[in-house]
Structure 1
Amino acid sequence: LYHKYLDDQQIRRGQVLKKGSQPLMDYYDNFYIGNVTIGTPDQTLSLLLDTGSSNLWVIDADCDSNACGGYLTGLFTKYGFNSTKSSSLSTQNTTLFILYESGEWCGGPLVNDVVSFAGNHLIERQGFVTAIDIADIYGYMPLDGILGMGWPALSVGQDTTPMQNILPSLDAPLFTIWMDRKLSPSMGGNDGLITYGAIDTANCHSEINYVPLTSESYWQFPVDGFSIGIFSDARRGQVGAISDSGSSWIWVPTPVMDGIVNQTGAFYDQTNQVYAVPCSTMMVQPDLEFTINGIKYTVPSVEYVLDFGLGPEEVKCILAIFEIKAGGFGPDWIFSDTWIRTFCNIYDFGQKRIGFATAIHSRI
């Protein structure tokens, strides 16, 4: 039905198809944020562009909680969306609560307004939440909200998703995400790109390996095996992973986390609740090796050992890897920004597949 929707929209619009690109701002190689304009006149907001969800929400300017104001004083200013200043806004006379599997949440009135992103692609009537209550963790993140780029099945509520609205106007129903890597702590600056309707040939190598999706909800695909150093985790049956640009670190099963800690010599930093290694080992830790659809993919340690400036160089680089606790109904693995920095991800709605191409970096 979703593919029929795309075909019908293509015919109805009868317009010249387009492609576009959108720079991403890089915060500590931990958050990649894009500017989105909403309302009339335009209000520019910095949003997390998230392939792991499908709703659009923004902090309402009237939200008076500490989280809405932000805790990153001097590092990032949260602006919020002032709905009273938009002449094109209409209300839906209802509210919506969005709860993510990771536990974050937001809630507030549902409205419709003009939204522009994806290289100035304009959506004249996009439904979204103006959040007046948000999870406290968002106060520590350099964002004004989230724009979901997943499949319609992930959407909460009845509104057409932003991606559903722009796909029919693109040259092809796909987009490419490329993320760059900085070797030292940095706040902001254009160090990533989303290319809509086309493959990013400037930042991604030409060889692309495609994998069929196992569902049309998350960007989910099977993983055959994993190894690091002398540790390996090969499953008789394939396990599931998702590509999630809204997550900063790779999430792995508990036995794999134990193996990674053992092979890297990492120790647990109780204060920051992360695994840490000496920064001097950033380039020499063993590779993460994944087997997907019979092809081996290597993530070097320079991609998963990050310097957040947490302390002396000899002790305070972190492993950008988290443990997924057993017992949930979600995926076995979450391949996040750490993965996307290493391999450009091509999200193909039309062919129901995801592609991986080695990313090009100038600094590593």
Structure 2
Amino acid sequence: MKLLLLLGLVALAQCLAPRIPLRRVKSLRQTLKERGLLEPYLRQHPYNPAAKYFPARISAEPLQNYLDNEYFGTISIGTPPQEFTVVFDTGSSNLWVPSVYCTSPACSNHNRFNPADSHTFVGTNDTLYIAYGTGSMTGILGYDTVTVADIEVINQIFGLAETEPGDFFYYTPFDGILGLAFPSIASSGATPVFDNMMMEDLVAKDLFSVYLSKDGQSGSFVLFGAIDPFYTINGITWIPLSAETYWQITMDSVSISGKPVACFSGCQAIVDTGTSLLAVPNRALSTILGILDASSSGEISCKAVSSLPNIVFHINGKAFPVPPSAYVMESNGYCSLGFEGMDVPTESGELWILGDVFIREYYVIFNRANNMVGLSRLP
């Protein structure tokens, strides 16, 4: 069972989200120049005259922050291009969008890919099924040109959804999902988009990095092929992967006020941009709720937030605090903790999902060259 996209989207089912136009971000060169960082960057990355013949790409994909609940950007598929909004999900590996073959209500209010309108589309008879923590899809696989952050990937395999059962995807503000995890967990053996970028030398480095804004603000992005030095002024802690499936790492422990409260002998965690909350083993969640004086459903007094402690994740010998301003969610005068109970045992211990509640505190680098995750505390 896949652990994906997952737990924080329930709130989206309360209302049909408006279609929000996305705004292009500035180029990396322009951004660095405005911040006074262009010269240091160029010293680290000297000009290569061969690059105009063998270009290595650095491209930013702007993300729309929807209520701190989901982050999605615009891609295009086909020739001429057909545009779709997708979640850039490090907790899954497949790209799929709704298609004109889909009869589910969830497809009726989203953009649908029409292969007849693309003269570069190549169809197959292969089928696709993906079950997420909330929602699922079935469809067929095809190949076409996919453009992400101005990077054009030729003959990219993707899913054309034929069914999206239930009403979950009906209420989402995005059309589909673009998975950024490893090929080993891709359904139907489909090659992920970023793997094709690497194989075709479309990125300067075999990594991508993610910044997620807070409080619904703009500015979120996925940067393909580079690390933005503005977001790493506090240094980068590199953490080796414990499995090349999800972006999975080993945690040492979790503490509150200097006292270990969970993951006492180590446990596994995945860094997942497609999960809105922090997914916590149920036993650990009960302990945390008790320490924070929250109800069993996670509700907490808004007046108590200012006195709550940090929750500290100890990873690879370093401490990564998440303050109450990050893990307490306020809505209409009510406060609740941004945690969700989940029990998924692994061979190396219980599993945690470090979703957007955690990621908003750090600039995260997903390094395929060395199979590591880099974390830098945001300035």
Q: TM-score, normalised by structure 2?
A: 0.79
Q: Is the contact between residue 256 and residue 312 of structure 2 (CA under 8 Å) also seen in structure 1?
A: yes
Change (3 A) 1:289 1:215: same
Distance between the aligned counterparts of 2:335 and 2:100, measured in 1? 36
Give the structure 2 partner of residue 248 of structure 1: 276
- CA deviation profile, 1:231-266 (whole Å, cap 9, x unmatched): 633556321111011111111112221122112222
Paired residue for 1:98, among 121, 130, 140? 130
Q: Is the contact between residue 26 and residue 33 of structure 1 (CA under 8 Å) also seen in structure 2?
A: yes
Q: Is the contact between residue 306 and residue 317 of structure 1 (CA under 8 Å) also seen in structure 2?
A: yes
Give the structure 2 partner of residue 342 of structure 1: 361
Give the structure 1 partner of residue 323 of structure 2: 300
Q: Secondary structure at the match of 1:267?
A: coil
Change (3 A) 1:344 1:109: same
Distance between the aligned counterparts of 2:310 and 2:234, measured in 1? 23
Corresponding position: 1:131 with 2:146: no
Give the structure 2 partner of residue 109 of structure 1: 140
Once the two structures are TM-superposed, the CA of residue 23 in structure 1 deviates from its matched residue by 0.8
Q: Secondary structure at the match of 2:265?
A: strand
Distance between the aligned counterparts of 1:296 and 1:48, measured in 2? 29
- CA deviation profile, 1:143-175 (whole Å, cap 9, x unmatched): 111000011111112332101111232111001
Q: Is the contact between residue 104 and residue 165 of structure 2 (CA under 8 Å) also seen in structure 1?
A: no
Distance between the aligned counterparts of 2:280 and 2:100, measured in 1? 37
Distance between the aligned counterparts of 1:348 and 1:196, measured in 2? 11
Q: Secondary structure at the match of 1:338?
A: helix
Paired residue for 1:322, among 340, 353, 368? 340
Give the structure 2 partner of residue 84 of structure 1: 116
Give the structure 1 partner of residue 292 of structure 2: 264
- Letter of the structure 1 residue corresponding to residue 300 of structure 2: V
- Letter of the structure 1 residue corresponding to residue 314 of structure 2: T
Give the structure 2 partner of residue 160 of structure 1: 191
Q: Secondary structure at the match of 1:202?
A: helix
Corresponding position: 1:146 with 2:164: no
Once the two structures are TM-superposed, the CA of residue 54 in structure 1 deviates from its matched residue by 0.8
Give the structure 2 partner of residue 47 of structure 1: 86
Q: Secondary structure at the match of 2:253?
A: strand
Q: Secondary structure at the match of 2:83?
A: strand
Q: Is the contact between residue 183 and residue 190 of structure 2 (CA under 8 Å) also seen in structure 1?
A: no
- Letter of the structure 1 residue corresponding to residue 251 of structure 2: V
Structure 1 stretch 321-330 or stretch 132-141: which is displaced more?
Answer: 321-330
Q: Is the contact between residue 181 and residue 191 of structure 1 (CA under 8 Å) also seen in structure 2?
A: no
Structure 1 stretch 236-245 or stretch 46-55: which is displaced more?
Answer: 236-245
Once the two structures are TM-superposed, the CA of residue 125 in structure 1 deviates from its matched residue by 0.7
- Letter of the structure 1 residue corresponding to residue 311 of structure 2: L
Distance between the aligned counterparts of 1:145 and 1:130, measured in 2? 10
Q: Secondary structure at the match of 2:231?
A: coil
Structure 1 stretch 256-265 or stretch 295-304: which is displaced more?
Answer: 256-265
- Letter of the structure 1 residue corresponding to residue 339 of structure 2: I
Q: Is the contact between residue 178 and residue 204 of structure 1 (CA under 8 Å) also seen in structure 2?
A: no
Q: Secondary structure at the match of 1:132?
A: strand
Distance between the aligned counterparts of 2:188 and 2:344, measured in 1? 29
- Letter of the structure 1 residue corresponding to residue 295 of structure 2: F
Distance between the aligned counterparts of 1:227 and 1:170, measured in 2? 38
Residue correspondence of structure 1 range 142-291 to structure 2 within 5 A? 142-167=173-198, 168-182=201-215, 190-229=218-257, 232-233=260-261, 235=263, 237-268=265-296, 275-291=298-314
Distance between the aligned counterparts of 2:300 and 2:101, measured in 1? 42
Q: Secondary structure at the match of 2:313?
A: strand
- Aligned residue pairs, count: 323
Q: Is the contact between residue 288 and residue 299 of structure 1 (CA under 8 Å) also seen in structure 2?
A: yes
Once the two structures are TM-superposed, the CA of residue 340 in structure 1 deviates from its matched residue by 0.9
Change (3 A) 1:123 1:262: same
**Structure 1: stretches of 5+ with no match in the other structure:** 1-13, 71-77, 269-273
Q: TM-score, normalised by structure 1?
A: 0.82
